[in-house]
Amino acid sequence: VRWDGEALNLLDQRRLPDEVHIDRYTRADEVRRAIAELRVRGAPAIGIAAAYGLVLALAPHRDRPPAAFLAAVRTEAAMLRTARPTAVNLTWALDRVMTAAQRDTKGSDPSVSSASSVPRWQAMRAEAVAIHEEDRAMCRAIGEHGVHLIRPGCAVLTHCNAGALAVSELGTATAPMYLAHARGVPFRVVACETRPLLQGARLTAWELSRAGIDVTVICDSAAAHAMAAREVDLVIVGADRVTRNGDVVNKIGTSALAVLAKHFGIPFYVACPSSTLDSHTATGTEVTIEERGRDEVATIAGRCIVPEGVKVRNPAFDVTPGALVTAIITDRGLLKENMTEAREPSE
Ligand code: MRU
């Protein structure tokens, strides 16, 4: 995700690993479509993209009076909000940019129709840039808090892509890995392929291998075998939302890995920025789980693999009970299920 001052530049993640293709977006409806179609994906990245999308949406309204401008902010934010339902970062980022629009400006009254809305729009743009910059800092902090978990010679299993592609700079689940690698710690990563859209095989394997990190892709269904064979020492995954009771909503298949890790006595960590902690939602059962289209499951490389007429379900996320999570690695430190500080494992 890159903001060039006037437009949003997004790497089209659907085309990886075959092609590195960047599109330039100047319209909010196109940004919404890019999020819905997973050209840009990963909880923090869609929040950042939506924040810039709202800025783009309001650019043509800058000269309107505040009341009309703020009405347009509400309409456009509502449009962007519908792009994807599960990741809390999307609504969190839009709410922040909306609040910035309200906050303005040297005491001007929104009901005074003659005032320009340029300062409000500038405040929105500054807020979107701040969200983006804070995200980079949070990833680095997650890395610092989690790097000690990666011991020399260990194997870390991860699922989906909670890497640089999904966030900024170091990613979340990958941040401890990037820092450990930079500090010369030898370790291996096992990446679950992550059916149906293969974020693990296509994206995590792509970015880690480019960084020189030893990564092996396995089928999702091979995780139990790898754990039973002691080929996995710990699991680190990302999150789209962590509810007040510590339930973790993340890519479909995450909860199965947590159950397996519990069975095999393997620590199961979730890495996420504070922007993914949702204090407004009590438990994972209250979260809307996105159901995506049939074709993502029923076709592989354009070829239908499910007999015509057979029903298909495609939930994109699941809920891992907080009790199965060893700790949540955040930019503020390690948290336990009840959101209290976890004791760092001894060196
Ligand atoms: O459907 P996706 O690819 O957007 O799902 C992404 C995930 O589940 C990630 O693990 C999560 O968003 C964390 S990204 C730092």
> Is residue 158 within 6 Å of ligand 1 at its C-beta?
no
Span from the CA of 161 to the centroid of ligand 1 (angstroms) = 6
| Alpha carbons 115 and 119: distance in angstroms, whole number | 10
> Is residue 34 within 6 Å of ligand 1 at its C-beta?
no
The closest alpha carbon to 215, from 255, 188, 184, belongs to 188
Span from the CA of 42 to the centroid of ligand 1 (angstroms) = 4
The closest alpha carbon to 185, from 239, 217, 146, belongs to 146
Task: Supply 196's token pair.
Answer: 């149906």
pTM greater than the 0.85 cutoff: yes
Task: Supply 69's token pair.
Answer: 């401008």
Span from the CA of 346 to the centroid of ligand 1 (angstroms) = 30
| HEC secondary structure over 50-77 | HHHHHHHHHHHHCCCCHHHHHHHHHHHH
CB neighbours (10 Å) of residue 232?
Answer: 22
Span from the CA of 236 to the centroid of ligand 1 (angstroms) = 13
Q: Which residues of 261-300 are buried (b: 16+ CB within 10 A; e: fewer)?
A: bbeeebebbbbbbebbbbeebeebeebebbebeeeebbee
> Is residue 207 within 6 Å of ligand 1 at its C-beta?
no
> Is residue 44 within 6 Å of ligand 1 at its C-beta?
yes
pLDDT confidence of residue 168 = 79
Strand, helix or coil for residue 217: strand
pLDDT confidence of residue 345 = 46
Low-confidence ranges of the chain (pLDDT < 70): 104-114, 337-347
| Alpha carbons 166 and 272: distance in angstroms, whole number | 11
pLDDT confidence of residue 208 = 98
The closest alpha carbon to 16, from 213, 175, 200, 158, belongs to 200
**pLDDT tens for each residue of 179-211:** 999 999 999 999 999 999 999 999 999 999 999
| Alpha carbons 260 and 120: distance in angstroms, whole number | 50
Contact 159, 250 (CB under 8 A): yes
Q: Which atom from ligand 1 is nearest to the alpha carbon of 89? A: 12
The catalytic site residues sit at 240
**pLDDT tens for each residue of 23-77:** 999 999 999 999 999 999 999 999 999 999 999 999 999 999 999 999 999 999 9
> Is residue 199 within 6 Å of ligand 1 at its C-beta?
yes
- Total count of residues recorded for the chain: 347
